[in-house]
Structure 1
């Protein structure tokens, strides 16, 4: 399991500034990208290998 205590979280560029459904991503961790719900920062986070995260983002961007 990745140590997320040093994660630098940022909201995705598609998140609105008025609250709502926002995703935060931390990509400053060695060998892992972490994703969490901004409404529940103390809640669980999903972690992905950087290549898997890149593939996911590429697929989603192609459908936007």
Structure 2
């Protein structure tokens, strides 16, 4: 894993990670799963675990969660909303 000064995270292999999802998630598979990699966090869609993954620094992930919990994204609409 490489993390440079410009917040770029490069990871060669994500196959051995332990992915987790929220205990509040439904059993329908509409979840975001996360895995921790040193000083970074990887996220993926539980419906498509072999698909794309997002990897960010832990500080960026913490900032995202803080904004989410404080309603920063309320009213933004979900992906696919018309």
TM-score relative to the length of structure 2: 0.66
**Quick check: which has more Rg, 1 or 2?**
2
Structure 1: which 4+ aligned runs deviate by more than 4 Å?
none
SS in structure 2 of the partner of residue 34 of structure 1: strand
Residue segments in structure 2 that go unaligned for 5+ positions in a row? 1-9, 75-82
Residue 35 (structure 2) pairs with residue 39 (structure 1): no
From the two aligned structures, give the one with the greater helix fraction: 1
Runs of 5+ unmatched residues, structure 1: none
* TM-score normalized with structure 1 length: 0.82
Give the C-alpha shift of residue 13 in structure 1: 3.7
1:23 aligns with 2:35: no
Count of aligned pairs: 62
Deviations 1:26-59 (A, max 9, x none): 12x1121000000001111001100000000011
Question: What's the counterpart of residue 58 of structure 1?
Answer: 66
RMSD: 1.6
